[in-house]
Structure 1
Amino acid sequence: MVVCGCCVASWRRCVVVCLRLLFLLPAGLPVRSQGQSQSDNKQMDNITVRQGETVFLSCSQGDFVTHTAWLNRSSILYAGEDKWSVDPRVSLVTFNQDEFTIKIEDVDLADEGQYICAVQTISRPRTTSVHLIVQVPPKIVNLSKDLVLNEGSNVTLMCLASGRPEPAIVWRMISPSDDGLSSDTEVLEIPFITRQRAGTYECTAANDIAVDTQTVELTVNYPPSVSEGSDVGVTLGQRGVLECEVDAVPEADFEWYRDDRRIFSSFDGIEIENAGALSKLTFFNVSETDYGNYTCVAINKLGSANTNIVLYEIIEPTSSTLLQEQTAFENEFWEGPGAVQDGNSGTSTMFTPTCLLLIVVLQLLHKF
């Protein structure tokens, strides 16, 4: 039993030595000899790489190297030419007397941390460490949905994003116009929203690597507001059109009335045409009974509004009325105030203004 105990003890010592040579220590660090100096441990500059890229980790070997390994925290990636890592993204690039280089493809956030190149020489071990920093482009992970709400409601828009470095969040209104409404935090508060604040809002998440942008659409419902109607004059027998324009969300339905009687399309030669915010009431052949007062009513689920429009008659002048108007104009022009007529001859009508004209001309000539 004593002999067996010695065999077991010898076997354990052998295992410990092998593990030390392969740097399999709980902390993932190589063994130091008591005579090892601080200069044997080198700290390289941090390596910064973007998520998804490839990184190369390299260290120099030198003469009289017996063992070499690349470690990540407590895991051995490569021991010499032997791959210990089961990660297919890790591979050996160069292994010779001068250089020991591995590469990691498609770097992810989990790859961030300290990497150690441990070299065992005949005299003592040395280590070279580097810290890998993984940058992640911003990504908006939680965004408010498109909203439909009534005018006067309070609105809260939320935008959450991930990324390294931590992205900065900016909210702003971009459509229909940038009115200066913005926020540089994850939350945008809009109290008592008005119809002017309806539109497209943009959330931007940005860091040193990239920018991610998404939008939210706000629809604000409000009751109809009808533009004041313009009265229309039409000649008897001609075509006449009454127009009614409304501003409303959601779109309004139109109704036309003559006094208290509702009018429908194709009724007594009348046609009603609705197109979005505009309604037209068309008379194809205006009659005497068509003249009068009309009411346009616009209705949606939040209310209604109306306006009155008068269809009135325009009397076209006839040939006789035109002649009478022309004669009256000529008499007024030639006679003028203070004109004298003898009542017997039409020549006096022309004589008086002619004499006056001659007198004015003579006075002008006399001045020159």
Structure 2
Amino acid sequence: MSLPARGFVVFLLSTQVVQDLTTDSEYSGRVEDLCENKICTLRIRNLRESDSAEYWFRFDTIQEGGSYIGIPGVTLSVTDPDLQLKVSRAYSDQAELKYAPKLPSVSVSPSAEIEEGSSVTLTCSSNVNPAANYTWYKKNVLIYSSEEHQIVFSSINSSDSGQYFCSAENELGRRTSENIFIDVKYAPKLPSVSMSPSAELEEGSSVTLTCSSDANPAAKYTWYKENQTVFQGVEGSYKFSSISSEDRGIYYCKSENQYGEINSTSLFVDVQCE
């Protein structure tokens, strides 16, 4: 049966058959469907007792998934001789009510900045009937599959940062969502310190102390010599263009961002006199 782009269908209570009103001779010249501003109305003239039925609105789309029928429908009961009407909402599990998943949407809660150690929920939602099975991926690697449409990180870790997407699938089809990026913020990790050159240092030579720390957002660094600040900046390197014996001593650095700060272990700089 060829179906129009939109229209009403009826489930005849007497015959248990689904009919398209536009092709049913019993309704010829008596029905009119009006759609305006996304609101559709069915008008039936010369009401008959045989018009008792369940009525649904059907919408056909050229996109993947085909046509679908609005749920719930409306049940119309007509009785003689007074033509009394009884209208009620109808919920039906008829097979033409089944359809493949629509394009899933993904969301993250909370939607604000995500801090390491906090609880985070990813949700995959799709209009589908019958119910779908949901599969989650991180960078194209399957990480979770279930009838449940959510993933809950009870204590999210920095290693959980990355691109995620989900798919919804039932017996009628499968659809995949767009990507969502999870960016986990965290305080600096323990800094590592090094000196170059690492061999014996002579007065007048060029020497660089380097401090590096994993952090999100990026950390700023402070160098200390025996608890006195000698350098501060977004780069972790402190350079002596011509080191002297007065620069001999114990150094350490601090790495910090808005989520925390941490000091490195100590580094002894020994300068040999000429």
Unmatched runs of 5 consecutive residues or more in structure 2: 1-9, 35-58, 72-94
Aligned: 1:182 with 2:109 = no
| Alpha-carbon offset, residue 219 of structure 1 | 2.8
Listed one character per residue, the Cα deviations across residues 97-119 of structure 1 (whole Å, up to 9, x for unaligned) are xxxxxxx974531399xxxxxxx
| Alpha-carbon offset, residue 161 of structure 1 | 0.9
| Alpha-carbon offset, residue 313 of structure 1 | 2.3
Take 2:102 and 2:210, find their aligned partners in 1: how far apart are those partners? 52
Aligned: 1:76 with 2:22 = yes
Take 1:77 and 1:135, find their aligned partners in 2: how far apart are those partners? 23
| Alpha-carbon offset, residue 142 of structure 1 | 5.8
TM-score where L is the length of structure 2: 0.58
Partner SS, residue 193 of structure 2:
coil
Of 245, 248, 252, the residue aligned with 1:295 is 252
Aligned residues: 204
| Alpha-carbon offset, residue 306 of structure 1 | 1.3
What is the letter of the counterpart of residue 185 of structure 2?
Answer: N
What is the letter of the counterpart of residue 140 of structure 1?
Answer: P
**Conserved 8 A contact 2:121-2:151:** yes
Of 185, 196, 202, the residue aligned with 1:221 is 185
| Alpha-carbon offset, residue 262 of structure 1 | 1.5
Aligned: 1:109 with 2:109 = no
Partner SS, residue 143 of structure 1:
strand
Take 1:227 and 1:111, find their aligned partners in 2: how far apart are those partners? 60
What is the letter of the counterpart of residue 214 of structure 2?
Answer: D
Partner SS, residue 139 of structure 1:
coil
C-alpha change, 1:142 and 1:297, in structure 2 (3 Å) is: closer
Of 146, 153, 163, the residue aligned with 1:200 is 163
Unmatched runs of 5 consecutive residues or more in structure 1: 1-25, 30-40, 47-70, 88-103, 113-130, 266-271, 317-368
| Alpha-carbon offset, residue 244 of structure 1 | 0.4
What is the letter of the counterpart of residue 283 of structure 1?
Answer: F
Which shifted more, 306-315 or 232-241?
306-315
**Which of the two has greater helix per residue?**
1
Please provide the CA RMSD for this pair.
3.9
**Conserved 8 A contact 2:249-2:269:** yes
Take 2:11 and 2:214, find their aligned partners in 1: how far apart are those partners? 73
| Alpha-carbon offset, residue 134 of structure 1 | 6.7
**Conserved 8 A contact 2:133-2:169:** yes
1:309 aligns to what?
Answer: 267
Listed one character per residue, the Cα deviations across residues 207-241 of structure 1 (whole Å, up to 9, x for unaligned) are 33332223333333332223342354432212111
What is the letter of the counterpart of residue 136 of structure 2?
Answer: W
Of 164, 168, 174, the residue aligned with 2:133 is 168
TM-score where L is the length of structure 1: 0.45
Listed one character per residue, the Cα deviations across residues 146-204 of structure 1 (whole Å, up to 9, x for unaligned) are 553332222222222113454321224x14x95x7424121212222222333333222
C-alpha change, 1:76 and 1:305, in structure 2 (3 Å) is: closer
Partner SS, residue 248 of structure 1:
coil
